[in-house]
């Protein structure tokens, strides 16, 4: 009987993720097994156990709103500037204090102390190699040319990835030119906006669309895939980083911030700092085929590393997020759905 009691307590101690006092609770829109390894490393280094709730961005934001002051969450991880800006506007963050974070992460990839970008993704152009060549479409603006009549495909403009891109175009070109371009993009549509980014790549591969937009990691995921369907999809798909000769390609981030009602703010600060360390950065970026936000790091993901040296637009990512309502208004005016 006593032996059984000892066993029971040994079990309790081993399940420290449930009973440990030193924890950090994170709400994350990511869902990669590599993240579990990151949490384990953090526990080894600090003794702090990471508890994770993983769900879609919108669900996490709703949940945080409903939980209010009683939320157990310490850290929020979201992808895309548009969503991070919404979380900032909702007053969800308390800001971080560690100066190391700002030293490690380039200024354009973080907000004014609310949250910090951890990985970079680029919004790139894919095209049908049977119909077009790279030099046909060196910039985002070129997608509006008459050459691409009935050829342009994208997901809905209401999606954060599209709103952020349009926001960056508004900042770079001004509202008038961005509106003209939007009008031309609608004229050039091959079909009603639909599906996700991977669907756009597949539609280009299938010859339904001549040019399309996608986040880089969706393409890299297909490039690394050994599935016959993916290999077949990419046979006729070319890609390029737009605006290399001018502003640079629009980049976005996955970012994290400490929540205002964090019950464990010190642990949250330690965890956020840990996410900006070189080794963690590599693992975190690798998980979703994104590039580390810290400059000059290689991830050992060959395809990702080989594509890392493109010119990135250095517009501040928070400024991009703040333009999303202007972007949506502009899209509505030209009937872009
Ligand atoms: Fe995505």
Q: How many angstroms separate the alpha carbon of residue 116 from the centre of ligand 1?
A: 18
Q: How many angstroms separate the alpha carbon of residue 161 from the centre of ligand 1?
A: 8
Tell which residue, 106, 243, 120, has the closest CA to residue 173. 243
DSSP 8-state code for residue 311? P
In this structure, the answer to whether residues 126 and 115 fall within a common structural domain is no
In this structure, the answer to whether residues 60 and 99 fall within a common structural domain is yes
In this structure, the answer to whether residues 226 and 288 fall within a common structural domain is no
In this structure, the answer to whether residues 43 and 189 fall within a common structural domain is no
In this structure, the answer to whether residues 137 and 232 fall within a common structural domain is yes
Question: Has residue 260 been placed in a domain?
Answer: yes
In this structure, the answer to whether residues 291 and 210 fall within a common structural domain is no
Question: Has residue 32 been placed in a domain?
Answer: yes
Neighbours of 259 (CB within 10 A): 23
Domain range enclosing 244: 121-250+319-334
29 three-state secondary structure: coil
In this structure, the answer to whether residues 169 and 95 fall within a common structural domain is no
Is residue 179 within 8 Å of residue 99, measured between CB atoms?
Answer: no
Structural domain count of the chain: 2
Is residue 171 within 8 Å of residue 319, measured between CB atoms?
Answer: yes
pLDDT at 252 over 90: yes
Q: How many angstroms separate the alpha carbon of residue 232 from the centre of ligand 1?
A: 22
189 three-state secondary structure: strand
Tell me the two tokens of residue 6: 């000892």
20 three-state secondary structure: coil
Q: Report the predicted TM-score, pTM, of the whole model to 2 decimal places.
A: 0.92
Question: Has residue 114 been placed in a domain?
Answer: yes
In this structure, the answer to whether residues 105 and 206 fall within a common structural domain is no
Cα distance between residue 170 and residue 35, in whole Å? 35
Q: How many angstroms separate the alpha carbon of residue 264 from the centre of ligand 1?
A: 29
Each residue's pLDDT tens digit, 310-331: 999 999 999 999 999 999 999 9
In this structure, the answer to whether residues 242 and 266 fall within a common structural domain is no
Q: How many angstroms separate the alpha carbon of residue 20 from the centre of ligand 1?
A: 33
Q: What angle, 0 to 180 degrees and rounded to 10, lies between the N-to-C axes of helices 33-46 and 278-287?
A: 160
pLDDT at 19 over 90: no
Question: What confidence tier does 108 reach under pLDDT thresholds 50, 70, 90?
Answer: very high
> How many CA atoms lie less than 13 Å away from 94 in the CB half-sphere?
18
Question: Has residue 152 been placed in a domain?
Answer: yes
In this structure, the answer to whether residues 260 and 235 fall within a common structural domain is no
In this structure, the answer to whether residues 65 and 173 fall within a common structural domain is no
Question: Has residue 307 been placed in a domain?
Answer: no
Question: Has residue 309 been placed in a domain?
Answer: no
Question: Has residue 273 been placed in a domain?
Answer: yes
Question: Has residue 156 been placed in a domain?
Answer: yes
In this structure, the answer to whether residues 144 and 104 fall within a common structural domain is no
Beta bridge partner(s), residue 115: 257
- The two counts, helices (H) then strands (E), for the chain are 16, 9
Q: How many angstroms separate the alpha carbon of residue 252 from the centre of ligand 1?
A: 11
Q: What is the CA radius of gyration of the chain?
A: 22
Separation in Å, CA 36 to CA 13, 48, 50, 314: 20, 14, 9, 31
Each residue's pLDDT tens digit, 43-87: 999 999 999 999 999 999 999 999 999 999 999 999 999 999 999
Q: How many angstroms separate the alpha carbon of residue 265 from the centre of ligand 1?
A: 28
Q: For residue 237, give the CATH number of its domain.
A: 3.40.190.10
Give how far the C-alpha of residue 23 lies from the chain's centroid of Cα atoms, to the nearest Å: 26
Burial of 192 (0-12, 13-18, 19+ CB in 10 A): exposed
CA angle 217, 221, 226 (to 5 degrees): 170
Each residue's pLDDT tens digit, 160-170: 999 999 999 99
């Amino acid at each position: 009987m006593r032996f059984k009691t000892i066993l029971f307590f040994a079990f309790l101690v081993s399940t420290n993720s449930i009973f440990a006092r030193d924890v950090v609770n994170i709400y994350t829109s990511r869902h990669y097994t590599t993240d579990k390894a990151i949490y384990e490393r953090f526990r080894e280094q600090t003794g702090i156990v990471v508890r994770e709730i993983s769900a879609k961005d919108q669900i996490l934001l709703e949940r945080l709103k409903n939980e209010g002051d009683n939320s157990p969450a310490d850290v929020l991880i979201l992808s895309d500037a548009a969503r991070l800006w919404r979380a900032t506007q909702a007053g969800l963050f308390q800001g971080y204090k560690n100066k190391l974070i700002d030293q490690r992460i380039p200024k354009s990839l973080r907000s004014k102390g609310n949250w910090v970008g951890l990985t970079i993704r680029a919004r790139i152009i894919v095209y049908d190699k049977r119909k077009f060549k790279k030099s046909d479409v060196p910039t985002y603006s070129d997608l509006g040319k008459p050459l691409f009549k009935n050829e342009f495909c994208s997901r809905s403009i209401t999606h954060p990835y599209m709103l952020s891109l349009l926001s960056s175009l508004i900042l770079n070109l001004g509202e008038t030119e961005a509106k003209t371009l939007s009008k031309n993009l609608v004229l050039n549509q091959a079909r009603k906006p639909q599906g996700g980014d991977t669907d756009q790549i597949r539609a280009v591969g299938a010859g339904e669309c001549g040019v399309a937009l996608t986040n880089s990691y969706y393409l890299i995921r297909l490039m690394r895939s050994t599935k016959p369907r993916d290999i077949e999809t990419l046979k006729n798909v070319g890609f390029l980083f737009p605006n290399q000769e001018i502003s640079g390609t629009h980049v976005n981030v996955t970012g994290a911030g400490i929540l205002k009602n964090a019950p464990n703010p010190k642990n949250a600060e330690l965890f956020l700092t840990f996410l900006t360390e070189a080794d963690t950065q590599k693992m975190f970026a690798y998980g979703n085929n994104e590039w580390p936000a810290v400059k000059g790091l290689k991830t050992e993901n060959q395809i990702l590393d080989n594509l890392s040296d493109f010119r990135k637009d250095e517009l501040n990512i928070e400024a991009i997020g703040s333009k999303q309502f202007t972007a949506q208004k502009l899209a509505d005016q030209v009937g872009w759905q």
